[in-house]
């Protein structure tokens, strides 16, 4: 059965990859494309704007929930919250790849997931989600090693550290029984003193057109173990989001992530 998928923010870098992924998936139909209210792109053809040729799909700046089975959103937190509330009212499932949410927004998302099924993940790559499990296993074995998370993204990314980096740090912290809020350090400067044992450091690099690189470093006395994932195309994330959209069609209300979609739990 063909699933009608709507996208928001199709004119962005990730939006264009999502258009391609939906178009290439034989079980999906790109049924609607939405842009922010008042956008100059309103009414233009989604395919022509994103470089995929005419699709006879005019972009709309008002969310019409009757046009889709599931909504995929990789935009900004404030926009995602508005789209999520509309989906709750219409009882439509949602795939969320947006990052940078506040604690209050995450609480609101958890409440929404009591009414509709939501897949929320900082990274929809199959490889990254496999990496999460490897990081947890390494943390359980390398218990006295220092842990550092290093991530690099393009110059346009607006939040730091990346949601994926935070999720990797959380995987290590959970495996060790640590509270990430207490043990995380986001950058170092000046005379910081010796590194405490129970600490997870985060380092952020921004520049150029880097799609997304993540490394979790386990540094011991005499050796280092590095677990790394490098993304070379946003299509990887888009294909994962489409896979999540299909999976959602068979799920009850709840807050899920790609670990659930891929059966890695």
Burial of 257 by CB count in 10 Å (0-12 exposed, 13-18 middle, 19+ buried)?
A: buried
pTM > 0.85: no
Catalytic residue among 153, 214, 229, 246: 153
pLDDT band per the 50, 70, 90 thresholds, residue 1: confident
Q: At residue 265, does pLDDT exceed 80?
A: no
CATH class, domain 3-120+234-261, is alpha beta
Question: Cβ neighbours of residue 5 under 8 Å, at least 6 residues apart?
Answer: 22, 28, 29, 30, 31, 68, 69, 70, 71, 72, 242, 245
pLDDT band per the 50, 70, 90 thresholds, residue 264: confident
Catalytic residue among 4, 154, 157, 250: 157
157 as an active site residue: the answer is: yes
The fold for domain 126-231 equals Dihydrodipicolinate Reductase; domain 2 (3.30.360)
Q: What are the domain boundaries of the chain?
A: 3-120+234-261, 126-231
229 as an active site residue: the answer is: no
In angstroms, rounded to a whole number, what is the distance separating the alpha carbons of residues 176 and 243?
A: 31
| pLDDT per position as a tens digit, 43-88 | 988 888 888 788 899 989 889 999 999 999 999 999 999 999 999 9
| pLDDT per position as a tens digit, 108-155 | 999 999 999 999 998 899 999 999 999 999 999 999 999 999 999 999
């Amino acid at each position: 059965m063909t699933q009608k998928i709507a996208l928001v923010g199709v004119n962005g870098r990730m939006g264009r990859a999502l258009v391609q992924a939906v178009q290439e998936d034989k079980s999906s139909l790109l049924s609607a494309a939405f842009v922010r209210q008042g956008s100059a792109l309103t009414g233009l053809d989604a395919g022509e704007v994103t470089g995929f040729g005419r699709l006879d799909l005019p972009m709309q700046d008002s969310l019409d929930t009757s046009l889709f089975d599931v909504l995929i959103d990789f935009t900004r937190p404030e926009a995602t919250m508005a789209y999520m509330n509309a989906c709750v009212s219409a009882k439509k499932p949602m795939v969320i790849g947006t990052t940078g949410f506040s604690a209050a927004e995450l609480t609101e998302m958890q409440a929404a997931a009591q009414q509709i099924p939501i897949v929320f993940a900082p990274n929809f790559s199959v490889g990254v989600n496999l990496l999460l499990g490897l990081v947890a296993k390494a943390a359980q074995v390398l218990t006295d090693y220092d842990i550092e998370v290093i991530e690099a993204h393009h110059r346009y990314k607006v939040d730091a550290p990346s949601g994926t980096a935070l999720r990797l740090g959380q995987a290590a912290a959970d495996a060790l029984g640590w509270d990430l809020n207490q043990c995380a350090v986001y950058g170092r400067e000046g005379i910081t003193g010796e590194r405490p044992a129970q600490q997870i450091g985060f380092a952020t690099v921004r520049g150029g057109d880097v799609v997304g690189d993540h490394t979790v470093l386990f540094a011991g006395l005499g050796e280092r173990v590095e677990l790394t994932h490098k993304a070379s195309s946003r299509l990887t994330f888009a294909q994962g989001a489409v896979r999540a959209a299909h999976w959602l069609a068979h799920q009850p209300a709840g807050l899920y992530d790609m670990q659930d979609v891929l059966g890695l739990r």
